[in-house]
Amino acid sequence: MGEATPASGPVGILVNPLSGRDVRRLAARAGTSTPEDKRNQVQRILVGAAAGGAGKAVLVKDPFRIADAAVEALGIEIDVELLDLSTRCDPGDTPRIASEMRARGCAAVVVLGGDGTNRTIAKVWADAPLVPISTGTNNVFPTMVEATLAGAAAGLVASGGVPLPVVSERAKVVRVEIDGEPDDLALIDAVHLVDDSLGNRMPYEPRSIRRVVVSRAEPCAVGVSPIAGLLHPVTASDDAGVEVVCDPDAPPLLVPISPGLYAQLGIRGSRILELDEEVVVEGPGLLAFDGDRERALERGQRARLRVERTGPRVIDVGATLREAASRGCYRDRPHWHDHRTRVSSGCC
């Protein structure tokens, strides 16, 4: 991470209204993120962004009125552009919103969602400058960060007060090439499953897991990442990944596969992967990416997986605020809070 000319542009706030509300709460003990929770978080993000120097924010209307209600009577000095993209709370919303925020020059994007939401952004905006806040279920990519401070970090970067390259790094991804089909990716984990079905939203059945490739192996996470993390811990900054081969008849490993839910997985073998080292998976079965079962492999069809550092640029909130302190970004600004929120509407 080194110095560069500061970027300047709006702060985007991308909200997945359904994150933290899916059916997996019936099979585990995860909490629920309500629309009211998200409205409050959006308000705090806007306050932090304005304090960080952002002059403009871009949000998108949603059926739950999260964005609309958040900007009502906000009373801070920031222009808010509230776009109407006719969202429907379906999988097509996030890529359309991310593409629009990229087109409008958003210099930092705060994301309220889980690994899957951020993965969808990465598929249409490879180097998106993200501040990911966790609101989903088995999250590793986004973090539990106070929304005011997340907004402050985004505002400092978007205003040019703190240069993006100084306080961020490109994330790792699991790049996936499938014989005869379009490529795909996972931000955290790619899993080969057998005896499962596309679109299934329940936690993985441990006996169905055959192979796991992760960009981050976190022993202090839940989900797939700790399967590798309890064997070979690998952090976001390590230039490596991990492969785990599973077999229900092999010696077991006890893993927290979802909040409040442990399970035994048979482990046949595991190893550290170098960046760009290839792992070959052969069908039949499914490939699941960051918890979503999306691709089917026919018998004999192959997929090649490798961990690369070609993902979104993740803004480190703590590093951003420390850099802001060293640069005096919050000094001599007595008139920042002058009760002049301006909201404009737009459509595309």
* Residue 332 CA from chain centroid, whole number: 35
What is the gyration radius of the CA atoms in the chain, in angstroms? 20
What's residue 267's pLDDT?
98
Strand 184-186 to 189-193 pairing = unpaired
Residue 2 has a pLDDT of: 39
| pLDDT tens track for 141-171 | 999 999 999 999 999 999 999 999 999 999 9
Q: What pTM was estimated for this model as a whole?
A: 0.90
Give me the sign of the Cα torsion angle 294, 137, 141, 79.
positive
Domains of the chain: 11-170+312-347 (no CATH), 173-308 (2.60.200.30)
User: Which residue do the tokens 């209600």 mark?
Assistant: 69
Per-residue pLDDT reduced to its tens digit, 49-63: 999 999 999 999 999
pLDDT in tens, 88-117: 888 899 999 999 999 999 999 999 999 999
**Which of 52, 215, 59, 244 is closest to 140 using CA atoms?**
215
